[in-house]
Structure 1
Amino acid sequence: MYELGGRMSRPVAKPVRRADARQNVEKILEAAIACLGRDPSTSAIQIAECAGVGRMTLYGHFPSREALVEAALTRLLDKGDQVLEGVDLTGDAPAALCALIESSWLLIAQSSAVLEAAQATLPPTRVRDLHAKPEQRVNNLIARGQAEGAFRDDLPRTWLASVLHYIIKGAATDVASGRLDPTVAPRFISETVLAAYAPAPSEERSTGR
């Protein structure tokens, strides 16, 4: 391209995010997930220290702790969604539940901890919007299991979903403290949840025991 007078002009370059900036974002998000997973009240400054970046760098990418918490939760939910897209949840309900636990129990545990931070930080409507898809996936699976007689139907599916998350979070805590081998955690979680979801024998249901 030439300007009047025969001088060559340089094309205007589109702004490109520097590689180190992208790396900083990744380090900050991973640090946020790790720190909030251990303590949902972790400050943005503590997360910056964990990520090995300065506070100005952190705030340059995330203008507030609220924005950082939301980004960390979104990152985890996206990871979980990618994992579960490849898991067949359409077959036998108990088998599908075990497949869900096997493939994503650690991500669910991490997102539960970061969700706790989000609930204390973000507007309730925003938290519900972010968490709606994974929550609906679990609720749909439980509802199908109840309809097929594979899961108990004398308790609300929302409560059964909460039981699943409590057990997963407890397993993650035991793994972190060294009380539980992570290689057996999925089996322990699955067997405990399936026992909790098992329909009561018909005689107990009829007598209300």
Structure 2
Amino acid sequence: MSDKNPLLRSDAQRNRDAVLATAMRLLGQKPEASIQEIADASGVGRTTVYRHFPSREDLVRALFAMVVDEQRAVVAAAIAEGDTAAAILRRLGPEIVGIGERYRFLDTHRDLVIDDPLKHPSPAEPLLAWLVAAHGRGEVRTDLPPDWSYAMIRALAVGANEEVVAGRRSPEEAGRLLGDTLVRAFTT
């Protein structure tokens, strides 16, 4: 789901990247921003935006793909540290909340995301693959199936981000609490 397209010329890739970065920033400030406003702010023409993203929905889907890619990268980086299951889960709490903060504006566009790959993960999904392996090593609770743990981690992450949006927790507190909850709920 990477936002890089190896078939694009370097200038076309730069334009696409500029549109995505600008859309992320602008839609975060003004969710109803038009394609024209995004084009103007990114320094490209509206036809260039439409060349890369034929509809607003395509643009939002590309932004959502960035979220998925970032989440996968964060999980992969945490796992690559080679730490204990508790340390990995504790680290993921603040990381996940941080991603939720950066992409919060996409919540208003969830109806445009038809196929959320994180809802129906493949066995290669980094978090699920790690949970399966950690389950096999007895590092996480073996009384909980790994796919269940994966689904519950996602649900807790959504809940933590909702606490931030509602103003009941700061992002830092929500991240720390999420990490602590993940450790207590899923490690042995």
Confirm whether residue 69 of structure 1 aligns to residue 60 of structure 2: yes
Shift of 1:188: 0.5
CA change 1:60–1:95 in 2 (3 A) is same
Q: Which residue of 2 aligns with 1:28?
A: 23
Shift of 1:71: 0.7
Deviations 1:49-89 (A, max 9, x none): 8x6667x9354542113311221112223333444454335
Q: Which amino acid aligns with 2:128?
A: N
TM-score scaled by structure 2?
0.65
Residue pair 1:25, 1:61 contacting (<8 A) in 2 also = no
Report the number of matched residues.
172
Q: Which of 146, 151, 162 is 2:151 aligned to?
A: 162
CA change 1:158–1:75 in 2 (3 A) is same
In 2: Cα distance, 1:156 partner to 1:22 partner: 39
CA change 1:152–1:145 in 2 (3 A) is same
* Structure 1 residue runs without a partner (length 5+): 1-13, 36-41, 200-209
Confirm whether residue 95 of structure 1 aligns to residue 87 of structure 2: yes
CA change 1:65–1:102 in 2 (3 A) is same
TM-score scaled by structure 1?
0.60
**Aligned pairs (5 A) from 1:33-48:** 34=28, 46-48=32-34
| Alignment root-mean-square deviation, CA | 4.2
Percent identity of the aligned residues?
Answer: 20
- Which has the greater radius of gyration? 1
Residue pair 2:121, 2:128 contacting (<8 A) in 1 also = no
In 1: Cα distance, 2:90 partner to 2:168 partner: 22
Q: Which residue of 1 aligns with 2:174?
A: 185
Q: Which amino acid aligns with 2:67?
A: L
Residue pair 1:24, 1:53 contacting (<8 A) in 2 also = yes
Residue pair 1:145, 1:151 contacting (<8 A) in 2 also = yes
Shift of 1:130: 11
Q: Which residue of 2 aligns with 1:107?
A: 99
